[in-house]
């Protein structure tokens, strides 16, 4: 037997080597003796025996050696950790969203939802904005994105997301969110004038909200979603939902009352013709809410106004320009409902009349229309009536009414960019959570879109470019890759500075 030595990480170790014969073959057996304390005296230190002296001649271990004069054992020191790259993740898109939320005072509002896992909430907001795929893919997205480091406690498995949506869809989360959001809209953004409209959410989910609807001749299995937006900014203020077979006219008063309960005191509303009924108009007058609405052609008031004013409509003083078109608009005072006075704007869109005239001429022979029938139809082509509780100049009524298009834009953002459709939920609880999450994502997207309006960028192109900026993740920090000119331009629009490095220490 003999003792062999070797060095590991600057520390000398000893081992006992013994030669063993097996017939004609000789092999070696090894036994670790431990760290070398005194090489000349064969004093070692092992985990089992502590400090001891080994007598090679007698194969004896002395556990109480006299090692005075020997150097004290030096504890093992790990070599300085070499900074090793762990991950490469998409960075710029989520970093901009996260920075935008904080810079615009939205953090407190979102936190006010009260969900137990805020990292999941923020991760899902980013996912709804940046990805238009099913929630079952959310974890895959999260694992390859900066959201993984920014919101490390997020639970992104499909089952956990379903539980999260059910929690977010609770009545308490709804009330907490809108209790914080309503003052933000009024105090930070300002303006009390609203737009109200609804849209269908087609689906085949088996729950009570899905019903067959016939909306303007379009028949679907759907849920009806009502959005309220701010006239001055187009930002969504509030939303409600109801079964698909509930008609628009029955939802207006409830929507107004819910707005009041959430602190939104409406002064002026712009309504689609689908909301125009005598009961709804009375409600608006009783609540002191001014309004503008298109008058449906089937209403008796519409027929009376057209009959009384058609012959005097096409006159020089009634001609206005709007959006590159010439339109005749005549204002008359009238009883809108009961004894409530208001103003009617009888209009004739010349371009629209020409288009409808051509279509009539093309089908007149096929439908065997008489000259008298053609004449009667021609007289009503291009006509419309808008009713208002306030007097407005005739050249202002159309720009005011057509701010309604802003709510159509919100529906477009929600459905096509904020992951509202298709619906991939199974219960009303998760459906409510999905709608609130979509609403929050839509608010952020609309604000981002408004910032980009004066530029050549839109949210899609901007996020696609920013996603190409990566980050390299290390043990305690991440390093961002260099931003291109387009990326820097996008950051400058939002007055966001892209860092060279980001600490991963929480808090």
For the stretch 271-284, pLDDT in tens is 888 889 898 999 89
Strands (E), 129-210: 193-202
Q: Which two tokens stand for residue 490?
A: 């996008």
For the chain, the structural domain boundaries read: 2-62, 299-388
What distance in Å separates the CA atoms of residue 168 and residue 185, rounded to the nearest whole number? 21
What distance in Å separates the CA atoms of residue 289 and residue 214, rounded to the nearest whole number? 29
Bridge-based pairing of strands 87-90 and 211-215 is unpaired
- Max Cα-Cα span within the chain: 132
Name beta bridge partners: 348.
328, 383
| The pLDDT of residue 76 | 41
| The pLDDT of residue 10 | 76
Q: Cβ(401)–Cβ(323) under 8 Å? A: no
| The pLDDT of residue 71 | 55
Bridge-based pairing of strands 290-294 and 268-271 is parallel
Q: Which residues does the chain have with pLDDT short of 50?
A: 74-82, 507
Calculated CA dihedral for residues 413, 115, 167, 120, nearest 10 degrees: 60
Cα separation values, 51 from 44, 46, 61, 103, 133, Å: 6, 7, 10, 62, 64
Q: Which residue do the tokens 């959430």 mark? A: 262
Strands (E), 192-235: 193-202, 211-215, 218-230
């Amino acid at each position: 037997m003999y003792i062999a030595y070797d060095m590991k990480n600057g520390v000398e170790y000893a081992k006992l080597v013994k030669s063993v014969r097996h017939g004609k073959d000789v092999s070696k057996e090894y036994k670790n003796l431990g760290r070398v304390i005194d090489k000349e005296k064969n004093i070692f230190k092992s985990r089992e025996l502590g400090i001891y002296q080994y007598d090679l001649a007698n194969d004896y271990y002395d556990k109480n050696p006299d090692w005075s004069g020997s150097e004290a054992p030096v504890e093992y020191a790990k070599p300085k950790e070499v900074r090793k790259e762990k991950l490469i993740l998409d960075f710029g898109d989520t970093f901009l969203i996260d920075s935008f939320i904080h810079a615009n005072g939205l953090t407190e509002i979102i936190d006010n939802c009260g969900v137990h896992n805020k990292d999941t909430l923020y991760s899902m907001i980013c996912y709804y904005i940046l990805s238009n795929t099913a929630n079952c893919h959310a974890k895959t997205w999260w694992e390859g994105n900066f959201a993984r480091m920014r919101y490390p406690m997020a639970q992104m498995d499909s089952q956990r997301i379903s539980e999260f949506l059910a929690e977010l869809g609770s009545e308490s989360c709804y009330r907490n969110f809108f209790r914080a959001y309503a003052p933000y809209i009024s105090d930070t953004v300002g303006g009390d004038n609203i737009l109200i409209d609804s849209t269908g959410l087609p689906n085949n989910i088996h729950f009570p909200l899905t019903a067959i609807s016939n909306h303007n001749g379009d028949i679907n299995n759907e849920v009806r979603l009502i959005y309220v937006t701010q006239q001055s900014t187009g930002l969504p203020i509030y939303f409600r939902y109801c079964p698909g077979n509930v008609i628009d006219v029955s939802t207006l008063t409830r929507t107004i009352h819910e707005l009041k309960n959430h602190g939104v005191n409406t002064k002026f509303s712009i309504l689609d013709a689908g909301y125009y009924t005598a009961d709804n108009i009375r409600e608006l007058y009783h609540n002191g809410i001014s309004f503008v609405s298109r008058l449906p052609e089937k209403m008796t008031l519409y027929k009376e106004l057209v009959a009384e004013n058609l012959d005097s409509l096409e006159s020089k003083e009634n001609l206005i320009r709007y959006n590159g078109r010439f339109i005749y608009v005549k204002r008359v005072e009238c009883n809108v409902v009961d004894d409530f006075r208001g103003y009617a704007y009888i209009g004739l869109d010349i371009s629209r009349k020409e288009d409808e005239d051509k279509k009539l001429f093309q089908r007149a022979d096929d439908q065997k229309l008489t000259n008298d029938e053609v004449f009667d139809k021609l007289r009503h082509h291009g006509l419309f009536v808008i009713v208002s509780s306030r007097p407005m100049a005739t050249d202002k009524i159309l720009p005011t009414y057509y701010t309604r298009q802003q709510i159509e834009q919100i529906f477009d953002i929600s459905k096509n960019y904020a992951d509202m459709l298709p619906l991939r939920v199974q219960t009303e609880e998760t459906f409510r959570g999905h709608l609130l999450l979509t609403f929050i994502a839509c608010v952020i997207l609309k604000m981002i879109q408004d910032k980009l309006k004066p530029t050549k960028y839109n949210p899609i192109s901007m996020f696609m470019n920013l996603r190409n900026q990566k980050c390299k993740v290390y043990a305690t920090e991440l390093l961002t890759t260099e931003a291109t000119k387009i990326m820097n331009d996008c950051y400058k629009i939002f007055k966001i500075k892209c860092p060279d490095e980001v600490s991963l220490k929480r808090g």
